[in-house]
Structure 1
């Protein structure tokens, strides 16, 4: 996680970086983000209120409040606290114009929206939050976004801000195993070239958060059901579910038998609590898995908002934060000054050689 935050903060094209609290709200991850100058995207009032309570020096300008569902009073409280607000349902603006009167906020822009829809709100919109809704078709990256954004620019009197949310992962090349930093940098550079009048804010992709964590469990039962091997573990599989939405894949290693090879038969890993959705299917799994074996599952850092170390579903498998080496916070302005100085030095060197 340290390296991911450092690499993304070091991108010149990114003006601000935001961590989605609901991906994994572990207190030590949140503290690391605060120490590095990262902002937060919150989907509920409780998330936002908890951040401001636990980190009293956190600037409200570092929070984007984009609720899944919010009542009027929560929007009002968010405005009063001075955080950035994203409005998803444009009908709310028509139904409660008094709530949004003289307020500045973001609206969601995606493949299903049109820039004419935002005209009625006048000059209160400070930018767009771009994220594809679940199962929406891709819009072919920056080329697909550009017509919408170009038309929307006429609605902004000042330089607007474009927030790229997690749904944009669907637009990237799905042949990539991961949304890695170099590929993401190229994508963001393309967006910046296509839309140079926008400030660019980035929400940390769920895939990168998932990659930062592993799940260590113990096998409590193995059995077969038709052609599928069923393995029950003393962990929870429900909310490692970003793999379905964001294309995140997992690998499994049997620490108890690390050299026994893999099998091509499908293996279903079931959480101890059982229930619908508490399962991940693996086409390639260790050939031998027996009761009592210790298993590692990769790319499990995005646990989901409803899973915490104290939840009963973990059944004695707590979530621990392993401290890596310390990193200095990235000063974006200092980074830009260094790049400018380096260019001047290179130019001076060329003149000296001439």
Structure 2
């Protein structure tokens, strides 16, 4: 067992016809533990049980290649003692895994001796990338040899295959020497004769990833993460039925799931979308792995080693692209930015050819490009350019003959990846406000219309990805066939979470009785409203909760909420008059009026009635300041960016009409002082349907910064927007996390200021359902329609916001869904759809369908469009029976 010279390429002799192969690749985390090898053995048995030949490709044990790379960088003048210590460290690491799997590791000693010799050679010639490639390749040689023994001990018969027998690097003189050794290319095509010859030698193999055979038989590497590439290339040459990549995640997500738990699994992705995601930073897949698979239409399955039960991402020729949408937000670190500037380049023929020739001469691949009359800025692809400081210095010196050059290595790219980005810029525009006050070095809109990329300072990248993901993902077309469960949903301990069925599932008979002879009705459960209020009252950092009554102004709901000790927030004087009439014990000072572009008379009426007032526009102070002179008011601030489940419910940022922008704050305060107006409170509201607890923490951070300079501020009102899960598998808003985040910021203020919240939907959405009788059924081709007695005239949220509401057949509750229906209403509009592709039991005329989470912005936004009366409103109360 030696690394001196790998075997010559396998002879390809004709076999007896096509042989079905499968290639399974396992990453560093998977091969580093005994449990991981149990999973690998299970996968091998499953493949063997399906009567297929297979190759297992493995990475080095997690961290081993990093350790070898550290050693290569530090080898100049390295002592024999340091080399011996490294060998002992690696011997111990592999021996511990061997013991955990019940085998001996002594068979690795010859390989470790070879590694020691390679380290000595590298120390003697530290600039020679050939020696570095040889050293770095030992990680996979060690893991695959050890894995061969582990599988044998578990009764899985596999032979060891040297990948250098299978893969030979291309001779590409255009690439620099380091790239040729450390990030080599291999070109392969399906080779039936080779597949037959390997099949004749054995049905099951284990092979090291990352390495290939270079010129003269030397070891070359396929780039960091190159084991994915090895598996793809081996699978392509074998003409495999599919290639599987098993790692610590089950596939591609809408963002890095280990950093953003709300990221959702992408179930089915086309080759070109997957390539774009991988190239722009998705870590589950090396982009070069897709090139041969796409060319030869070989499916790629991404799987999670520890969770083989999860159907991960499938990248196949049959994957359907579901129209223009953003599917993921990804980042790439390690971006090198090269800026070339000079007035001499304007209208200079051949300037770009000259400077790009310099990159070619240095063997460097340019990734993103931005040009103007006097500036050309490019980035270097971190995956294709193994560069060091000396290489960049030489590049800058050569480019300096043509222009002024600046090289930055502390950059990252943030990319919105999807289809038809150019066609949806108007939709994603509001989300781009997160880049405000961030330095952007380059913006690139891909020529293939698959990504929009921003190059920024590396320190800002992660936060930007989080903010963009909250605003843009998920959504889009394709529904659950494209967007799978979130990372936190996949990793949730379901046994530890007490499953609480929705209240309406336990009270079907009561609901049907309440509907009576009506064809459609909203039904509100007052006990559920009280329970939601009680949860909010557990927040220790929140001094007062106001109900945002625009969500639902039904008098019984108002009385129940006020009865729990909550105040009321209104957005019009009509609302204020309504609640004071409905709840006589409510005083004017228990309200808060937050109008927006209302007539002057409303402000005067509120002041005369003694209702606390919020202003959100300096124009009011400039033109109506006399009306407010000597008064105390709340000032609504726009913190700069909004959140929410749809762009039309985001109430902050330049595309929203609400709030005083931060750059207008100083002028607003000057106007207030001029009219002797006291700023008693600060207010911010960013949007609706938010399930991320840090939203209110960020708002509080902005407002406390302002309050520090305003000693008159007694109250900070963080608005509402507290989300309610739409689907049964979604986690609710974590109120404990929200409370803890607010407490951290509040402590920093060093002064006694009250914190208020003003939720609406949180209090009433889940407490209300819309019941509607089935009127007709219809089929058009493969599409089935079930019509009900009311539609967008009662519930406009699905048509207006694309909102998703759970729909069940209450008359047949508990029966399995048999058909996918589009649930539609009687309104003469194509958009009159309450739910698409809903799995329901066979439905009949007269059945009652239930639309859940309809207690907020349902009846409150209803109309008499088509002169159809909206659903009536009814109340039930389990606590008052």
In structure 2, relative to structure 1, the CA distance for the partners of 1:179 and 1:105 (3 Å cut) is farther
1:332 corresponds in structure 2 to none
Structure 2 counterpart of 1:19, from 547, 550, 556: 547
- Give the CA deviation at 1:139: 11
What is the alpha-carbon distance in structure 2 between the residues aligned to residue 279 and residue 247 of structure 1?
10
Structure 2 counterpart of 1:105, from 633, 637, 643: 633
Structure 1 counterpart of 2:755, from 185, 195, 200: 200
In structure 2, relative to structure 1, the CA distance for the partners of 1:110 and 1:147 (3 Å cut) is same
Q: Which runs of 5+ in 1 are unaligned?
A: 327-354
The TM-score with structure 2 as length reference comes to 0.33
Number of residue pairs aligned between Structure 1 and Structure 2: 318
Q: Secondary structure at the match of 1:256?
A: helix
1:281 aligns with 2:835: yes
In structure 2, relative to structure 1, the CA distance for the partners of 1:238 and 1:278 (3 Å cut) is farther
1:154 aligns with 2:705: no
What is the alpha-carbon distance in structure 2 between the residues aligned to residue 290 and residue 239 of structure 1?
22
Q: Secondary structure at the match of 1:295?
A: strand
Q: Deviations over 1:132-160 (max 9, x none)?
A: 15899x99635533552243113422343
Is 1:127–1:161's contact at 8 Å kept on the other side of the alignment?
Answer: yes
Mapping for residues 1-354 of structure 1, pairs under 5 Å: 1-112=529-640, 113-114=661-662, 115-116=665-666, 118-120=668-670, 121-122=672-673, 124-132=678-686, 141-142=695-696, 144-145=698-699, 147-167=701-721, 169=723, 177=730, 179-180=732-733, 183-196=734-747, 197=751, 198-225=753-780, 228-238=783-793, 240-241=795-796, 249-262=804-817, 265=820, 267-275=821-829, 278-302=832-856, 303-307=858-862, 313-314=868-869, 317-325=871-879
Is 2:720–2:760's contact at 8 Å kept on the other side of the alignment?
Answer: yes
What is the alpha-carbon distance in structure 2 between the residues aligned to residue 134 and residue 210 of structure 1?
12
What is the alpha-carbon distance in structure 2 between the residues aligned to residue 286 and residue 146 of structure 1?
44
What is the alpha-carbon distance in structure 2 between the residues aligned to residue 155 and residue 25 of structure 1?
37
Q: Deviations over 1:258-284 (max 9, x none)?
A: 34423684x433333444754322443
In structure 2, relative to structure 1, the CA distance for the partners of 1:313 and 1:64 (3 Å cut) is farther
Q: Deviations over 1:178-211 (max 9, x none)?
A: 644xx12421331232134431111124144211
Q: Secondary structure at the match of 2:860?
A: coil
The worse-fitting range, judged by mean Cα deviation, of 127-136 and 160-169 is 127-136
Q: Which runs of 5+ in 2 are unaligned?
A: 1-528, 641-660
What is the alpha-carbon distance in structure 2 between the residues aligned to residue 239 and residue 207 of structure 1?
20
What is the alpha-carbon distance in structure 1 between the residues aligned to residue 617 and residue 783 of structure 2?
43
2:245 corresponds in structure 1 to none
Is 1:43–1:67's contact at 8 Å kept on the other side of the alignment?
Answer: yes
Is 1:207–1:246's contact at 8 Å kept on the other side of the alignment?
Answer: no
Q: Secondary structure at the match of 1:70?
A: coil
Is 1:139–1:145's contact at 8 Å kept on the other side of the alignment?
Answer: no
- Give the CA deviation at 1:218: 0.5
Q: Secondary structure at the match of 2:811?
A: coil
Is 1:130–1:165's contact at 8 Å kept on the other side of the alignment?
Answer: yes
1:352 corresponds in structure 2 to none
In structure 2, relative to structure 1, the CA distance for the partners of 1:140 and 1:15 (3 Å cut) is closer
The worse-fitting range, judged by mean Cα deviation, of 186-195 and 21-30 is 186-195
The TM-score with structure 1 as length reference comes to 0.76
- Give the CA deviation at 1:7: 2.1
- Give the CA deviation at 1:246: 8.8
What is the alpha-carbon distance in structure 1 between the residues aligned to residue 830 and residue 680 of structure 2?
41
Flag the structure with more relative contact order, 1 or 2, with Cα contacts below 8 A and sequence separation at least 6.
Answer: 1
In structure 2, relative to structure 1, the CA distance for the partners of 1:193 and 1:220 (3 Å cut) is same
In structure 2, relative to structure 1, the CA distance for the partners of 1:239 and 1:163 (3 Å cut) is farther
Is 2:771–2:849's contact at 8 Å kept on the other side of the alignment?
Answer: yes
What is the alpha-carbon distance in structure 1 between the residues aligned to residue 571 and residue 700 of structure 2?
27
What is the alpha-carbon distance in structure 1 between the residues aligned to residue 609 and residue 624 of structure 2?
19
What is the alpha-carbon distance in structure 1 between the residues aligned to residue 802 and residue 729 of structure 2?
10
What is the alpha-carbon distance in structure 1 between the residues aligned to residue 785 and residue 570 of structure 2?
36
RMSD (Å) for aligned C-alpha atoms: 3.6
Is 2:787–2:824's contact at 8 Å kept on the other side of the alignment?
Answer: yes
What is the alpha-carbon distance in structure 1 between the residues aligned to residue 863 and residue 568 of structure 2?
18
In structure 2, relative to structure 1, the CA distance for the partners of 1:77 and 1:300 (3 Å cut) is same
In structure 2, relative to structure 1, the CA distance for the partners of 1:248 and 1:2 (3 Å cut) is farther
- Give the CA deviation at 1:131: 0.7
Q: Secondary structure at the match of 2:873?
A: coil
In structure 2, relative to structure 1, the CA distance for the partners of 1:260 and 1:133 (3 Å cut) is closer
- Give the CA deviation at 1:175: 12
Q: Secondary structure at the match of 2:787?
A: strand
- Give the CA deviation at 1:295: 1.0
What is the alpha-carbon distance in structure 2 between the residues aligned to residue 308 and residue 244 of structure 1?
13
Q: Which has the larger radius of gyration?
A: 2
What is the alpha-carbon distance in structure 1 between the residues aligned to residue 596 and residue 782 of structure 2?
39
What is the alpha-carbon distance in structure 2 between the residues aligned to residue 324 and residue 101 of structure 1?
49
What is the alpha-carbon distance in structure 2 between the residues aligned to residue 205 and residue 220 of structure 1?
33
Is 1:219–1:232's contact at 8 Å kept on the other side of the alignment?
Answer: yes
What is the alpha-carbon distance in structure 2 between the residues aligned to residue 81 and residue 190 of structure 1?
36
In structure 2, relative to structure 1, the CA distance for the partners of 1:225 and 1:81 (3 Å cut) is farther
